[in-house]
Amino acid sequence: MPCSRPWNGRRPCLHEGEANVFDLKDLYQQVIVDHNKHPRNFGRLEDASHEAEGYNPLCGDRLHVYLKIDDQGRIEDVRFEGEGCAISMASASLMTEALKGRTLQEFRSLFEGFHALVTSSGDGADDEAGLGKLAVLGGVRAFPSRIKCATLCWHTMKNAIERSGVARTE
Amino acid sequence: MSFDVAAIRAQFPILDQQVHGRPLAYLDNAATTQKPSAVIQAIQAYYQRDNANVHRGVHALSERATAAYEAAREKVRALLNARSVREIVFVRGTTEAINLVAHSWGTARLRAGDEILITGMEHHSNIVPWQMLCERTGARLRVLPINDAGELCLDQLPTLLNERTRLVGVVHLSNALGTINPVAEIIRQAHAVGARVLVDGAQAAAHMAIDVQQLDCDFYATSAHKMYGPTGIGVLYAKEALLDEMPPYQGGGDMIRVVTFERTEYNELPYKFEAGTPNIAGAIGFGAAIDWLGSFDMCEIAAHEQRLLQEAVSRAKAIPGLRLVGEAGHRATVLSFTMEGIHPHDLGTILDREGVAIRAGHHCAMPVMQRFGVPATVRASFALYNTSDDLDALFQALERAQAMFA
């Protein structure tokens, strides 16, 4: 494992009254860089019970998620494939880790929690509760043009569970 | 005025700012250029002193506004070396100019079985209007491919051109690759089979001299905002004989001579194609940009930008994992590339935090991205005010991005 923070960029100059300032290293945390390079649960799930395609036409990010949901409504297995920026890849990878073994009820609560985390106007501390490792994506809040990169996989997953089709974040 | 980049930069107030605590390195000029004080002041002066509607009032302000608007048209005529101001139609920009031709000339002239030939490096604005025209008329869209260097496969042109070809649409300077196309040769071959030629000059006007008579193109479209003028104003040049026979594009005020409920007599050229109150301030700003650009020697501008591009290319080639997209022998102003292991959108965000403004994406040229097998590229594009300092900022930021993603 390389040193956790190879990035030595300075903090950007702070404007007076700016409450929510993030540096690049808050966005590209080592966990994110690592999940981008080595996405977990990557590839096709042959015996999927649910699947959906997600596309962000602005960035060209393209994801396909696969799920196997058992009779008790529990996510037995989950995989994804596709290509996109580091934020979208890492977010999808972290999502698959977070969802394995969860119930659909838990998925809905994580979906809401994650959405609040990346769109919250606060410092995010309140929003990180219960999200575990997913909290590393909170830095995306400060980069409005990139929020959709982080949420594409979650919308795609929601579509896969609720219906089949193509999710769009526009 | 001699070519002194520091003095030029001093005329662009916007360049003198910090972004995320770093000096702005504006390298997104193919998207839009910044505006010199002369242009900003011309627009402000118009609104502060002369604002009135054109071609209507008899009062002093309307006469001043009309004179300034028509003076701008003459400046555009001179810029393109058109024969007459009757051939200069003000439009919102290149996109509207192409749509005007597709609707007016295209709908009247094309029939099922006719062909429109475009190239593999066109911007969406020189693809979609023709696709829509094909849907309306039953004409067929054909494409001249590009090679691995990002040049048109001219050897295939003679086989693609035939007696059914009605129109050839070709970009002068590619926004995605920087390729400068041999439009004069394409026009010569197209005319030999009786086809008309539209040249998309959106990127070209700020970087090279344009002479529509020498090119002998039938239509030439360009936008002010890519040549230091304001957004929302551009020009369609068309040969007068073509404009004469083309039906109006939009109906309304200013484009008519007489209106009764029974019939309408259209106005003379170019007003037949300028329905409604035009973008008067925009046209005046366009004229000011042409004056301003005209204070320099276009050869010196091109030489300066070529030096920057050569420096950028040689520095880019020294970076492991960097792949240039577009290496045409004849190109200008655009450095398009990808980096192994880092998506262009991540590079865009990282570069932005270093004060470097570039474009990351498909550059409204998705078929070009498909041709090169990439989802997107990073594009740095140069203007006459860019310097080696901007390149330093770009390449330092790229090194930092690589360190971050290592």
pLDDT band at A145 (very low <50, low <70, confident <90, very high): confident
Minimum distance, in Å, between the CA of residue B212 and any CA atom of chain A: 36
Look at residue B371 in the predicted model and tell me its pLDDT: 96
Question: Which residues does chain B have with pLDDT short of 70?
Answer: 1-2
pLDDT band at A121 (very low <50, low <70, confident <90, very high): confident
> Which residues fall within 8 angstroms of residue B155, CB to CB, at 6 or more apart?
none
* Contact across the interface for A13 and B341, Cβ inside 8 Å: no
What's the ipTM?
A: 0.80
Helices B344-353, B388-404: inter-axial angle, 10-degree rounding: 120
Q: Enter the CATH code of domain B5-30+298-404.
A: 3.90.1150.10
Query: A3 — contact with chain B (CB < 8 Å)?
Result: no
pLDDT exceeds cutoff 80 at A49: yes
pLDDT exceeds cutoff 70 at A127: no
Chain A 31-50, residues with CB within 8 Å of chain B CB atoms: 33, 36-37
**H helices within B273-365, ranges in order?**
280-294, 298-317, 344-353
Minimum distance, in Å, between the CA of residue B20 and any CA atom of chain A: 5
Total residue length of chain A: 170
Residue A146 DSSP class: G
Q: Chain A residue with minimal CA distance to B374?
A: A60
Chain B 311-370, residues with CB within 8 Å of chain A CB atoms: 341-346, 349-350, 353-354, 361-362, 369
pLDDT exceeds cutoff 80 at A10: no
Look at residue B57 in the predicted model and tell me its pLDDT: 80
* Contact across the interface for B406 and A6, Cβ inside 8 Å: yes
What is the spatial distance between Cα A90 and Cα A98, in angstroms, rounded to a whole number? 12
Q: Chain A residue with minimal CA distance to B355?
A: A12
Strand partners, B222: B235
Give the residue from A59, A63, A147 with the most B CB atoms within 10 Å of its CB, the best one to mutate: A59
Amino acid letter for position A134: L
Check if the beta carbon of residue B92 is closer than 8 Å to that of residue B142: no
Which residues from chain A sit within 8 angstroms of residue B406, using beta carbons? 2, 6
How, if at all, do strands B377-381 and A61-69 pair? Answer: unpaired
What is the spatial distance between Cα B230 and Cα B268, in angstroms, rounded to a whole number? 27
Look at residue A164 in the predicted model and tell me its pLDDT: 55
Which is it for the CA torsion B134, B140, B146, B147, positive or negative? positive
What is the spatial distance between Cα B61 and Cα B53, in angstroms, rounded to a whole number? 8
Mean pLDDT, to the nearest integer, of A139-154?
A: 92
Look at residue A123 in the predicted model and tell me its pLDDT: 63
* Contact across the interface for A145 and B342, Cβ inside 8 Å: no
Give the residue from A85, A137, A146 with the most B CB atoms within 10 Å of its CB, the best one to mutate: A85
What is the spatial distance between Cα B124 and Cα B202, in angstroms, rounded to a whole number? 12
What is the spatial distance between Cα B322 and Cα B312, in angstroms, rounded to a whole number? 12
Look at residue A126 in the predicted model and tell me its pLDDT: 65
Query: B400 — contact with chain A (CB < 8 Å)?
Result: yes
Can B5-30+298-404 and B41-294 be said to share one CATH topology? no
**H helices within B21-106, ranges in order?**
37-45, 60-80, 94-100
**pLDDT for A59-94, tens place per residue?**
778 999 999 999 899 999 999 999 999 999 999 999
Minimum distance, in Å, between the CA of residue B109 and any CA atom of chain A: 35
Mean pLDDT, to the nearest integer, of A141-157?
A: 93
Tokens of A20: 């929510």
Look at residue B39 in the predicted model and tell me its pLDDT: 98
Q: Chain A residue with minimal CA distance to B366?
A: A60
Domain range B41-294, CATH architecture: 3-Layer(aba) Sandwich (3.40)
**For chain B, which residues make up each domain, given as ranges?**
5-30+298-404, 41-294
* Residue-range domains of chain A with CATH: 24-163 (3.90.1010.10)
How, if at all, do strands B18-19 and B196-200 pair? Answer: unpaired
| From B22, B346, B375, residue closest to A60, measured CB to CB | B375
Residue A168 host element (H or E): strand A166-168
Check if the beta carbon of residue A117 is closer than 8 Å to that of residue A134: yes
Which residues from chain B sit within 8 angstroms of residue A24, using beta carbons? 349-350, 353, 404
* Contact across the interface for A9 and B400, Cβ inside 8 Å: yes
* Contact across the interface for A86 and B20, Cβ inside 8 Å: no
Average pLDDT of chain A?
82
**Strands of B301-393, DSSP E:** 322-324, 334-339, 356-357, 359-361, 377-381
Look at residue B3 in the predicted model and tell me its pLDDT: 78
How, if at all, do strands B115-119 and B140-144 pair? Answer: parallel
What is the spatial distance between Cα A68 and Cα A45, in angstroms, rounded to a whole number? 8
pLDDT exceeds cutoff 80 at A163: no
pLDDT band at A9 (very low <50, low <70, confident <90, very high): very low
Nearest to A15 by CA among B9, B34, B17: B17
Average pLDDT of chain B?
96
* Contact across the interface for A85 and B21, Cβ inside 8 Å: no
How, if at all, do strands B165-171 and B196-200 pair? Answer: parallel
Q: Chain B residue with minimal CA distance to A28?
A: B404
Check if the beta carbon of residue B357 is closer than 8 Å to that of residue B32: no
What is the spatial distance between Cα A84 and Cα A156, in angstroms, rounded to a whole number? 14
Which residues from chain B sit within 8 angstroms of residue A149, using beta carbons? 345
Tokens of B361: 């994406």
Which residues from chain B sit within 8 angstroms of residue A23, using beta carbons? 353
Nearest to B283 by CA among B329, B330, B223: B223
Amino acid letter for position B257: R
SS3 B234: strand
| From B341, B353, B375, residue closest to A24, measured CB to CB | B353
What is the spatial distance between Cα A139 and Cα B294, in angstroms, rounded to a whole number? 47
Mean pLDDT, to the nearest integer, of A48-65?
A: 89
Measured CA to CA in angstroms, residue B203 lies from A113, A167, B43, B402 at distances of 46, 35, 23, 31
How, if at all, do strands B359-361 and A75-83 pair? Answer: unpaired
Half-sphere exposure of A63 (CA within 13 A, CB side): 41
> Which residues fall within 8 angstroms of residue B128, CB to CB, at 6 or more apart?
none
| From B20, B21, B346, residue closest to A86, measured CB to CB | B346
* Contact across the interface for A143 and B349, Cβ inside 8 Å: yes
* Contact across the interface for B353 and A37, Cβ inside 8 Å: no
Minimum distance, in Å, between the CA of residue B146 and any CA atom of chain A: 22
Look at residue B282 in the predicted model and tell me its pLDDT: 98
Q: Chain B residue with minimal CA distance to A145?
A: B349
Nearest to B339 by CA among B399, B269, B268: B399
Residue B122 DSSP class: -
> Which residues fall within 8 angstroms of residue B58, CB to CB, at 6 or more apart?
none
Helices B37-45, B280-294: inter-axial angle, 10-degree rounding: 150
Chain A 111-170, residues with CB within 8 Å of chain B CB atoms: 143, 145-146, 149
List, by residue number, the catalytic residues of B: 364
What is the spatial distance between Cα B293 and Cα B307, in angstroms, rounded to a whole number? 19
Look at residue A14 in the predicted model and tell me its pLDDT: 38
Measured CA to CA in angstroms, residue B298 lies from B206, B283, B287, B302 at distances of 9, 22, 17, 6
Query: B192 — contact with chain A (CB < 8 Å)?
Result: no
